[in-house]
Amino acid sequence: MTGGAIVLLSGGLDSATALAIAQQHHQPVYALSFRYGQRHDAELLAAQRVAARMNVHEHRIIDIDLAQLGGSSLTDPAMAVPDAPSEGIPNTYVPARNTVFLSYGLAYAEVTGASAIYLGINAVDYSGYPDCRPEFVTAYQNLVNVATRATVTGSTIRVEAPLLDLTKADIIRQGIALGVDYGITVSCYQADEAGTACGVCDSCRLRHQGFVDAGVEDPTPYR
C-alpha cells in the first residue's frame, strides 16, 4: 500500500475495474465523479452503486459546467448519438473532457494527500478520442510533475491508466478476478435511469463484444 489514491469513477465497466486495481495498491481510495450535463443520471447512479459496493473511503460528485460550452452529442440534446462506428473523432467526444476531469482529480489529490490518480481509459475505449491516448497520459503526468504544491515540496502524484493497453476482454477478465460486479455498472450512452442499456450505441457494442471475447456471460440489463 503506497498512500491514498483518487479514482475517476464514471460508473462504467472500465472505471469500476480501475477502482478495483487501485484498491490493490492504495489505501484510502477516494472516488470522484462528475455531473457534466450528461443527458441522464444513469451513469451517476451507477457510480454511486459501484462506490458503495466497493467500499471507497469517500465518493465526491462534482458539478461541472461543460454542457454550457457545447460541442458534443453527449451533452447537447440537439445532436444525435451515433449508432454506428464513426469516421474520425465521433460527436460523442466532449471537448477536453479528460483534461478537465484529471484537473479536478489533481486538486482532490492535493487536498487529500493522495499519491496517485487512476483513470480507466483504454485502447478500445479510445474510439478516436484524442484524450484517451498514451501520449495524453504521458503529457498529463509531465504537467502534474510541475503543477502542484506536492511536486514543489518534493512528493509526486502518479497518473495511472492501468487499462490503457488492455482489450475490453482483458479488462473484464481482470475485473472478474478482482470481484467486480459488472451487472451494476453502466456503459451505455443512452441508458435509462434504472441502468438499462440500449444495446446499439458504440459503447454498448464494444462492451458486449468484450464479454463475448472474454468468454464470460454478459450481465448487462438490455432493453
Query: Side chain identity at 220, as an amino acid letter?
Result: T
Contact flag: residue 127 with a copy of itself (CB under 8 A): no
Judge contact between 101 and 119, C-beta under 8 A: yes
Q: Strand (E) positions, 80-136?
A: 116-118
Q: Residue 107 in contact with residue 150, Cβ under 8 Å?
A: no
Closer residue to a copy of itself in complex, CB, 143/178: 143
What string of DSSP letters covers 32-43?
Answer: EEEES--SSSHH
**Which set of grid coordinates corresponds to residue 183?**
451487472
* Cβ-contact 115, 5 below 8 angstroms: yes
123, 143, 169, 198: residue in contact with a copy of itself (rule CB under 8 A) = 143
Query: How crowded is the C-beta side of 223, counted as CA atoms within 13 Å?
Result: 15
Instruction: Give the helix/strand (H/E) hosting 207.
Output: helix 202-214
Considering the complex, what minimum distance in angstroms separates the CB of residue 199 from a copy of itself? 28
- Contact between 123 and a copy of itself per CB under 8 A: no
| 145 part of the interface to a copy of itself, by CB under 8 A | yes
Binding mask 79-118 toward a copy of itself (x if CB under 8 A, else -) reads ---------xx---xxxxxxxx-xxx-xxx-xx-------
142, 179, 183, 194: residue in contact with a copy of itself (rule CB under 8 A): 142
> Is 99 in a helix, a strand, or coil?
helix
136 binds a copy of itself (CB under 8 A): yes
- Interface mask (CB under 8 A) for a copy of itself, residues 27-66, using x and -? ---------------------------------x-xxxxx
Q: How far is CA 219 from the centre of its chain?
A: 19
- Judged by the rule CB under 8 A, the positions of this chain that interact with a copy of itself are 60, 62-66, 68-71, 88-89, 93-100, 102-104, 106-108, 110-111, 130-131, 133, 135-136, 139-140, 142-143, 145-149, 151-153
